[in-house]
Amino acid sequence: MTCEHVTLPGGGRAIVCSSRRRARCACGRPAPLLCDWKVPGKRSGACDKPICAGCSTKPAPDKDLCPEHAQAYQQWKDERMTPWQWWWGHDDGFDTCEVYICYFPTRDAAIAAALHETQPGDRFHVIEARSSESLKHDQADVIPFLRTRNHEILTNGPQAAST
């Protein structure tokens, strides 16, 4: 909340408070986004620095980071990568834990789980990825894949079961 003293047309004075200031990014452009970097101890739990789309870094859909925290994020990512693990996922997206629900030690295990969870004829993805150790145990709703390889699209059916 910000409050200002204003002089009224009749000469009186008043204090006007508004809970919503027009936020500006550090670069000067209007800032429709807020930094989502977690800051313990702040009431909202996040940095909340206003940022424009041009200055935002998106670690995941619907997440934005201010330039300062984009740097912190990069540093943290480099440090907290998991070993390669196998993941499987449904057909409607990539690169997040929401889609690749579980991880497995081997490709066969991932495929077996996928076959169990999908219907015959459903397409699914298997991928080998390195994720982030600390996000996985956090309440973050999306786990980014930091590195990926061996991505395949398979169909639940005899050919997938036999490979």
> What is the contact surface with Zn ion in residues (CB under 5 A)?
25, 27, 29, 35, 37, 47, 49, 52, 55, 66, 69
If the CB atoms of residues 26 and 142 are measured against Zn ion, the closer one turns out to be 26
Q: Cβ closer to Zn ion: 27 or 81? A: 27
Report the nearest approach of Zn ion to the CB of residue 48 (Å). Answer: 7
Least distance (Å) between residue 118 CB and Zn ion: 39
Of residues 29 and 77, the one with the C-beta less far from Zn ion:
29
* Shortest separation between residue 47's beta carbon and Zn ion, angstroms: 3
| Minimum distance of Zn ion from residue 32's CB (angstroms) | 10
| DSSP per-residue letters across the chain | -EEEEEE-TTS-EEEEEES----B-TTSSB--EE---B-TTSTTSB---EE-TTT-B-SSTT--B-HHHHHHHHHHHHHSBPPPEEEEE-TT--SSTTTEEEEESSHHHHHHHHHHHS-TT-EEEEEEEE-BHHHHTSS-S----SEEEEEEEEETTHHHHH-
Of 35 and 113, which CB lies nearer to Zn ion in the complex structure?
35
